[in-house]
């Protein structure tokens, strides 16, 4: 008999392990999982024993590889304290911070050092960093790679902030040639600038006009470019926040060819749709936009077929004034949706309605994300993995009160949504995170544990 014991022992009548729900006892020493056994293998020895209720499921902490923290420089939008409090409350124990919307952008080693210094004393979950690939700093990619960023983000169209310009076709090829040489991941905001320029620019309160300003073809054309350059360079690429399902066929074909290209989508594309967005409701503005219900059905089919690899929040907060609620003008409003704390219940609510299991959600939001950035010791309940846990009540229903979330600003497309599934506890490295606990998160470096 295993005789499971440890510093911390969690007895879970329900847990997601090896892709399915089962009962288990999970033992932790030194912040890592050291044993997993059947409930009746527990030896009775443990300095701290936690028993989960029958309506609770033990999950690995989520790994969200697409979060805009914005500190330093735009801390009034979100900072490391508020972002990592929200993450913990939402069951996310690891985030990878995007290189833009903070000032400076993470496009040099110096900027990375500044971010790490600002983040270090504040973080309540583990935090890694993406670097940025912008026209004037393609020569900095190698040094940033050596400094431990998890890869590089670039745009093929305007990013929304002037200090993070997009790459043109030649610069994009140069960037991927370099990341291919380094073995680094290049993650791409894939909307084509030329296609967007040819559309009527967004202005006014009509959501349909905003949708028409960012058509699916903008994504299709840009993703075709990503695939071509991936093939040409032998690089590793990833398409962020896929909104239009029309590009899935070409991505599927690229993978069948053996190209190393992956793609993510987000809860707002999978659980919200254009038919339910009122004119003037700029809390729903994001780029690419939330499209119609038929497209959403096709995205779910893509997830079910593993044509979409994983799901991340793309938490992109701002202050209320930037959302221009009085004017309700989709041309003027900031594009971005704050969702870090509600991503898990939002996805679970939609997934269960479509017949998916909690194990599917864990694969999409924890295991697959962790694996793509090389964090194979996170995103799973397995011996040797970090003891990052979520105690989730999958049947508990609640309404989102944005002012009660830890997000810095009470602004979100998820305001007042009725969701199913609530995070009751979050643990990091075997220690429970509470509102009052000291910041216990670590700064992560690619390739190191």
In the complex, the residues that contact Zn ion under the rule CB under 5 A are: 314
d(CA 209, CA 274): 11
Contact 180, 233 (CB under 8 A): yes
Our CB check for Zn ion shows the closer of 314 and 371 to be 314
Sheet holding 310-311, edge to edge: 131-132, 152-155, 185-189, 236-239, 260-265, 310-311
Q: How far is CA 8 from CA 25, 313, 376, 386, 435, in A?
A: 10, 30, 22, 13, 20
Helix, strand, or coil (residue 22): strand
Our CB check for Zn ion shows the closer of 211 and 337 to be 337
Our CB check for Zn ion shows the closer of 283 and 425 to be 283
Contact 217, 224 (CB under 8 A): no
Helix, strand, or coil (residue 434): coil
d(CA 187, CA 376): 19
Shortest CB 290 distance to Zn ion, Å: 14
Our CB check for Zn ion shows the closer of 111 and 266 to be 266
How many Cα atoms occupy the beta-carbon half-sphere of 147 within 13 Å?
Answer: 22
Our CB check for Zn ion shows the closer of 17 and 346 to be 346
Our CB check for Zn ion shows the closer of 65 and 93 to be 65
List of residues 6+ apart from 320 with CB closer than 8 A: 409, 410, 411
Our CB check for Zn ion shows the closer of 315 and 429 to be 315
Our CB check for Zn ion shows the closer of 126 and 314 to be 314
Shortest CB 313 distance to Zn ion, Å: 9
d(CA 262, CA 260): 7
Shortest CB 238 distance to Zn ion, Å: 12
Q: Which residue is nearest to Zn ion (CB)?
A: 314
Shortest CB 159 distance to Zn ion, Å: 9
Shortest CB 305 distance to Zn ion, Å: 25
Helix, strand, or coil (residue 375): coil
Our CB check for Zn ion shows the closer of 93 and 316 to be 316
Shortest CB 191 distance to Zn ion, Å: 12
Our CB check for Zn ion shows the closer of 26 and 187 to be 187
Contact 230, 254 (CB under 8 A): yes
Backbone angles phi, psi at 40, to 5 degrees: -80, 5
Shortest CB 316 distance to Zn ion, Å: 5
Shortest CB 29 distance to Zn ion, Å: 37
Our CB check for Zn ion shows the closer of 264 and 314 to be 314
Of 30, 47, 71, 70, nearest to 387 by C-alpha is: 30
Contact 362, 86 (CB under 8 A): no
Shortest CB 21 distance to Zn ion, Å: 32
Residue 329: count other Cβ atoms within 10 Å of its Cβ: 18
d(CA 186, CA 172): 10
Contact 139, 177 (CB under 8 A): no
Shortest CB 98 distance to Zn ion, Å: 5
Residues in the chain: 449
Shortest CB 438 distance to Zn ion, Å: 29
Tokens of 358: 């909690």
SS (H, E, C) 304-348: HCCCCCEECCCECCCCCHHHCCCCCCCCCCCCCECCCCCHHHHHH
């Amino acid at each position: 008999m295993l005789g499971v014991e440890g510093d911390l022992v969690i007895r879970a009548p329900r847990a997601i392990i090896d892709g399915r729900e089962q009962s288990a006892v999970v033992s932790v020493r030194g912040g890592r999982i050291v044993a997993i056994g059947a409930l009746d293998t527990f030896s009775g020895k443990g300095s701290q024993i936690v028993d989960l209720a029958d309506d609770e499921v033990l999950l690995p902490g989520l790994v969200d590889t697409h979060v805009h923290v914005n500190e330093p420089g735009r801390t009034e939008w979100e900072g490391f304290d508020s972002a990592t409090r929200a993450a913990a409350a939402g069951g996310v124990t690891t985030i990878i911070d995007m290189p833009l919307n903070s000032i400076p952008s993470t496009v040099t080693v110096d900027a990375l050092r500044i971010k790490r210094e600002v983040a270090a004393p504040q973080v309540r979950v583990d935090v890694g960093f993406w670097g940025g690939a912008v026209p004037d700093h393609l020569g900095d990619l190698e040094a940033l790679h050596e400094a431990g960023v998890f890869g590089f983000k670039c745009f093929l169209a305007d990013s929304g902030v002037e200090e993070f310009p997009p790459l043109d076709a030649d610069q994009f090829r140069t960037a991927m040639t370099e990341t291919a040489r380094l073995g680094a991941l290049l993650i791409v905001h894939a909307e084509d600038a030329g296609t967007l320029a040819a559309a009527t620019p967004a202005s006014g309160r009509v959501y349909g006009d905003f949708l028409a300003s960012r058509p699916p073809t903008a994504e299709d054309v840009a993703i075709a470019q990503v695939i071509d350059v991936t093939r040409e360079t032998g690089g590793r690429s990833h398409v962020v926040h896929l909104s239009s399902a029309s590009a899935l066929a070409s991505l599927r074909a690229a993978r069948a060819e053996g190209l190393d290209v992956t793609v993510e989508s987000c809860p707002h594309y999978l659980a919200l749709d254009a038919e339910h967005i009122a004119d003037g409701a700029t809390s729903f503005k994001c780029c690419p936009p939330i499209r119609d219900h038929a497209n959403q059905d096709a995205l779910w089919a893509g997830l079910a077929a593993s044509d979409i690899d994983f799901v991340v929040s793309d938490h992109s907060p701002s202050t209320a004034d930037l959302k221009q609620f009085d004017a309700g003008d989709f041309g003027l409003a900031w594009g971005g949706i704050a969702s870090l704390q509600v991503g898990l219940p939002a996805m679970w609510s939609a997934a269960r309605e479509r017949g998916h299991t909690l194990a599917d959600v864990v694969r999409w939001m924890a295991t697959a994300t962790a694996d793509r950035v090389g964090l194979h010791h996170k995103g799973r309940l397995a011996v040797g993995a970090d003891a990052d846990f979520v105690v989730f009540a999958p049947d508990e229903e609640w309404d989102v009160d944005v002012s009660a979330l830890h997000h810095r600003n009470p602004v979100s497309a998820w305001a007042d949504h009725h969701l199913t599934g609530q995070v009751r506890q979050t643990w990091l490295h075997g220690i429970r995170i509470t509102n009052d606990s000291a910041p216990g998160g670590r700064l992560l470096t690619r390739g190191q544990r």
